[in-house]
Amino acid sequence: GLIDAIEEFWIDDELVTLDGSDLVTAAPFNSKAKIQYRLGLATETAYADLVSGFTEYTSAHRGDGIATIYCRQSPVSQADYYSTFPNGINTLYRAVIRGAKVWNPKTGVTEWDDNGASIVRDLMTSPDGMRLPEAIFTTTIAQQGWEDAFDACAEPITLKAGGTEKRYRIWGSYTLQERPGDVIARMLACVDGRLVPTIRRAMRTRGLTPPM
């Protein structure tokens, strides 16, 4: 799905930067490695290199709504190949990303955020998570609880080396094969948190409604 941004690219164990042509100019790659990406917008753009290089690949192959990375290793002489790409065809490309955008309970805006409360809430409502109805999170009591949790996670903690760090942030990933309950247990452990039900069931008997 859609991600917010890509902050870093790594080739094997080397942090690399790209020039204006998306080439890695620093040694040992010397413009022989090219990296492009798409964030996963609703309407994306096909990679021109693939469109021009493969007849079965057309401008219609956009990958709408899917974050993708395109990597190309240009030809290198046999004598220089392993000095340029030490791992050959097993060269590992990695990226540090700002991932899924989440709903901010304080501002009401959906944006990238690593606040622990925002991340936990997003997992509980996400179609890729627990899929709980939004309505149970927006009652007056529940909304106040999430705002308080957000503030607690955002509390600035003084660092010994100077400066501050927000108290609880969550970074990471999970697979869609995992049980959402297992994922949220890991998240709650990271923020020293627990979930508190705030909805009471109303009952009617012979037209009478007991006090709540």
Apex 54 CA angle, 53 and 56, nearest 5: 160
Phi, psi of 120 (to 5 degrees): -60, -45
* Alpha-carbon gap, residue 116 to 175, rounded angstroms: 19
What's the mean pLDDT in 139-154? Answer: 94
* Alpha-carbon gap, residue 72 to 50, rounded angstroms: 10
- Return the closest-CA partner of residue 33 out of 57, 58, 11, 53: 11
Q: DSSP string spanning 177-202?
A: TS-HHHHHHHHHHHTT----------
- Return the closest-CA partner of residue 198 out of 130, 127, 148, 154: 148
pLDDT digits (tens, 9 = 90+) for 2-35: 899 999 999 998 999 999 999 999 999 999 999 9
pLDDT digits (tens, 9 = 90+) for 77-135: 999 999 999 998 899 999 999 998 999 999 999 999 999 999 999 999 998 899 999 99
Residue type, 73: Q
Helix or strand holding residue 35 (H, E): strand 33-38
pTM for the whole thing?
A: 0.75
Helix, strand, or coil here: 38? strand
Q: Strands (DSSP E) along 99-208, which ranges?
A: 102-103, 110-111, 156-158, 164-166
pLDDT band at 198, cuts 50/70/90? confident
pLDDT digits (tens, 9 = 90+) for 167-197: 999 998 899 899 999 999 999 999 999 998 8
